[in-house]
Amino acid sequence: MKSTKEVLAEMLREPTGVHFLDSGGAYGRHWQRNQERDFENEGPKMKVWGMNEVEFSVPLYLFLTDYLEYDEEVDRELQEFVKNFEGSNMRASRQFRFQEDRDEILYNITINTYNMENVLDQVIQFTVYSRERDPLWRGEHIFLHIHGGCDVRGGYTRPRAFRPVSEPADLLSTMGQVSGHVPSYDLYPFSDDAGYSFHDPDIFSHEGFHFFPEENEVWFCPETDEIDVETPDDLSSHAELVRWTVAGINFEAGDSSG
């Protein structure tokens, strides 16, 4: 039996075709760039752009291994269904019919993450199946497509079957969450739209936050009026590096550039 990690790595490298009308020839398609990636050793990334702008990114592989578990039995059924289905793989995921012993699984919902703010480094589309009327809270099966192309309108992998480790709603809400922590000063910047805005909209105009693009770090120091700050070394001994949690993954800003 293949592991969850093996199946996700296969999907991330699965050729999803080329088309002269997309821009993949110029920039490279995701599946092409993924051929040489070492997914096991990749972590979250942060980029400090200026006075108060930070961009975050989390590898899809790292994120999904915490939320999905490969379902070999259902995947065999799914692949047979897709092979005989007269239509696209994307439609097949939404029109799949389970075997008789699971025919009570009637409800499904399909999500494409391109339509929401999130920190994942690739787009996914997935269909959640459930016996209950609210699949996002009672989901039992997830049929996943990974976008491997360049233009988001096409270039998706064939679907593969997984079980959610927790409610699928957790996966959706977590992928857009960014939170900072400055323990000594009881400051907690928090965003649920991938860091584009924070629940306290004035948090980074708070005197004391410093953004260092070259070092790729954000620091907090309450004693800034008396100092000409150009680098973290110019901060006083009371300065503290902001610690970040992105999509549920903890890391320190200075260790996560790349």
61 band by pLDDT with thresholds 50, 70 and 90: very high
100 band by pLDDT with thresholds 50, 70 and 90: low
Identify the helix (H) or strand (E) that includes residue 220: strand 217-220
Cα distances (Å, whole numbers) of residue 141 to 81, 127, 132, 166, 240: 15, 8, 12, 11, 44
- Say what the pLDDT of residue 127 is: 96
Q: Let me know: does 109 contact 127? Beta carbons within 8 Å.
A: yes
Q: Let me know: does 246 contact 44? Beta carbons within 8 Å.
A: yes
| Region at 114 (left for phi over 0; alpha for psi -120 to 50; beta for the rest) | alpha
Range in 83-87, 196-200, 221-225, 251-255 with the lowest mean pLDDT: 251-255
Q: Is 185 helix (H, G, I), strand (E, B) or coil?
A: helix
- When pLDDT is averaged across residues 74-97 and rounded to a whole number, the result is 91
Using a 10 angstrom Cβ sphere, with 0-12 exposed, 13-18 middle and 19 or more buried, the burial of residue 37 is: middle
Residue with the bigger pLDDT between 71 and 228: it is: 71
- Say what the pLDDT of residue 258 is: 47
* Mean pLDDT of all residues belonging to the chain: 87
Q: At CB < 8 A and 24+ separation, what contacts does 206-209 make?
A: 209/52, 209/242
Cα distances (Å, whole numbers) of residue 191 to 45, 56, 59: 16, 11, 19
Residue 131 to residue 144: CA distance in whole angstroms: 19
Q: Let me know: does 128 contact 109? Beta carbons within 8 Å.
A: yes
pLDDT digits (tens, 9 = 90+) for 9-49: 999 999 998 766 566 665 678 999 999 999 999 999 998 88
- Say what the pLDDT of residue 82 is: 94
Residue with the bigger pLDDT between 48 and 7: it is: 7
Q: Read off the tokens for 124.
A: 């996914």
Residue 111 β-bridge partners:
126
Domain residue spans in the chain? 4-174, 178-255
**Main-chain phi, psi angles of 144, to 5 degrees:** -105, 135
pLDDT digits (tens, 9 = 90+) for 128-170: 999 888 899 989 999 999 999 888 888 999 999 999 999 999 9
**Main-chain phi, psi angles of 73, to 5 degrees:** -65, -50
Q: What is the pTM of this model?
A: 0.89
